Structure 1
Amino acid sequence: MIKGEKKRALRGRAGRMKGGRGSGRGSAGQVRLWGRHAVEAALKNPDRQHRKLWATPEGLESLDGDLPAGFPVEHAQAADLARLVAKDAPHQGLVLECAALEDVFLDEVADGEAARPIVVLDQVTDPHNVGAILRSAAAFGAAAIVTQDRHAPSEGGVLAKAASGALETVPWVRVVNLARALEELAEAGYWRIGLAGEAEAVLADVMPTGPLAIVLGAEGEGLRQNIAAHCDVLAKLPITSAIESLNVSNAAAIALYAVATRS
């Protein structure tokens, strides 16, 4: 399960924050995950470097498969685990400390597969929302999510729990400049659709058959002007007037479904 470190050169004008994917983490590259799905997925991910697992007997029993011989496990009671995680977090008897995932670069995921859209998030900072979007991205076969490093949550337990294992399977590209990342996607042949409630066009009417990037903004504020300007078209979801807008993670799931079922 443990993989040696790899060094990669800085690629793409969108750039990376110093410290890469892990910039903004509270401790030097350490991530603490909890909950069965998040922990089990991390344990099965060969790209994770695992440091320690705290577990109750019931938590260990719930895992699919056996841990490698000599894996560092500390047996604990549920009350002990509660002190290791966020307040009232549902740890399900499992807490894993591991290294953060390695950096992912935009050119590694922008391969132009029409069936695998890329999800771009503009200042979506709630870890529950980003985790839920990762889960939907995994469910509908998205190639990656892209965020601006300084305006997105760090990799961690709350996000991983919401992602239900998808943090380990969906590439997460964190860039310095989101507008430049959108330019690079256009150069790679992607049609960029920004979701905006005030748009006149409906998403289903403006989707191409080729590679597609779906761009979503934060709840309330929506897409920033500069990010909207870097989209090829703005579109809305056909919701009724009974509600003003959808949660961003719900909007992402609907948009990804629409892309997956386009003709």
Structure 2
Amino acid sequence: MTEKIFGIHAVQAVLSRSPERVKNLYVQNGRADKRLQEVLSLASSSSIAVVQRPRDELDKMVEGRHQGVIAQVEPAPEFREKDLPDLVAAAGSAALILVLDGITDPHNLGACLRSADAAGVTAVVAPRDNSVGLGATVFKVACGAADVVPFIQVTNLARSLQQMQQAGIWIVGMAGEADTSLYDRDLSGPTALVLGAEGAGMRRLTRENCDYLAKLPMAGTVSSLNVSVAAGICLFEVVRQRQK
């Protein structure tokens, strides 16, 4: 079984990191700009055949803005729930987990994965039910991060949080009604940041399994941030504290 990845950054990332996964590469007739030439050069260096197609045919192959390039690839190696303890153990005191509870928009997941990659996150964890998984839109928005950041969907998120606690990870739930700012918390040790869907927030059982709640201080009239924006801010507060 294969899947389609589209968009310049997403296709370039898979050609750079895992060219053996690429089975077919489709590009738009007549495109010869520098960005596409970089993609074609990577394909040539890995002896990957390129198939020229009219734009309207590419439009029919995927839903979304393909930017003139589509790769048909073998799925990336899938991380499973049983892999999480080993990932946490390997990271040791630098473990940083991003937990997304009930995120259903693939654009948000893709943006979260991109921030997670930039922040050096150990793994991104999400429930298997009522949560978006990896797909073409996620890969495009993530700009290659979906290929390298372990994304693990778990059957029981509350149980997974408890297992993280037993492994020495502090669980920090982000909630607008919390009394303490995230900036006033010590995030230098092994940490899992939990963010819920915009509006609904974390589910009750998820909240109950957090060690403590924290908030981002909001100075304006907007009461909440998009989850991917909030995730980026929270992750890089951890990075800032650890560098300090």
Shift of 1:182: 0.7
In structure 2, the residue matched to 1:100 is: 75
Kindly tell me: are residues 178 and 234 of structure 1, through their superposed partners in 2, closer, same or farther at Cα, counting changes over 3 Å?
Answer: same
Q: Secondary structure at the match of 2:189?
A: coil
1:73 to 50, 54, 73: 50
Q: Is the 8 A contact 1:100 1:155 kept in 2?
A: no
CA distance in 2, matches of 1:251, 1:113: 25
Q: How many residues align?
A: 233
Q: Which AA in structure 2 matches 1:242?
A: T
Report which stretch shifted further, 174-183 or 101-110.
101-110
Percentage identity across paired residues of the two chains: 37
Instruction: Report the AA paired with residue 52 of structure 1.
Output: N
Are 1:177 and 2:156 counterparts? yes
Q: 1:146-174, CA deviations, whole angstroms, 9 ceiling, x for partnerless residues?
A: 11122222322211111111111211111
Whether 1:257 and 2:236 are equivalent positions in the alignment is yes
8 Å CA contact retained: 1:144, 1:172: yes
Q: Does 1:61 align with 2:37?
A: yes
Structure with the largest fraction of helix: 2
Deviation at 1:119, TM superposition (A): 0.1
Partner of 1:83: 60
Alpha-carbon offset, residue 121 of structure 1: 0.5
Q: Distance in 2 between matches of 1:78 and 1:222?
A: 41
2:171 matched residue in structure 1: 192
Contact 2:126 2:157 (C-alpha < 8 Å) held by counterparts: yes
Sort the Cα spacing of 1:159 and 1:240 in 2 relative to 1 into closer, same or farther, 3 A: same
Q: 1:227 to 1:48 in 2, by over 3 A?
A: farther
Q: Secondary structure at the match of 1:150?
A: coil
TM-score, normalised with respect to structure 2:
0.88
Any gaps of 5 or more consecutive residues in structure 2? none
Alignment partner of 2:120: what SS?
coil
TM-aligned CA deviation for residue 128 of structure 1? 0.3
SS of the residue 2:85 aligns to: helix
Question: What secondary structure does 2:44 align onto?
Answer: coil
Deviation at 1:68, TM superposition (A): 4.8
Q: Structure 2: how far apart are the matches of 1:48 and 1:181?
A: 33
* CA deviation after TM superposition for structure 1 residue 69, in Å: 5.6
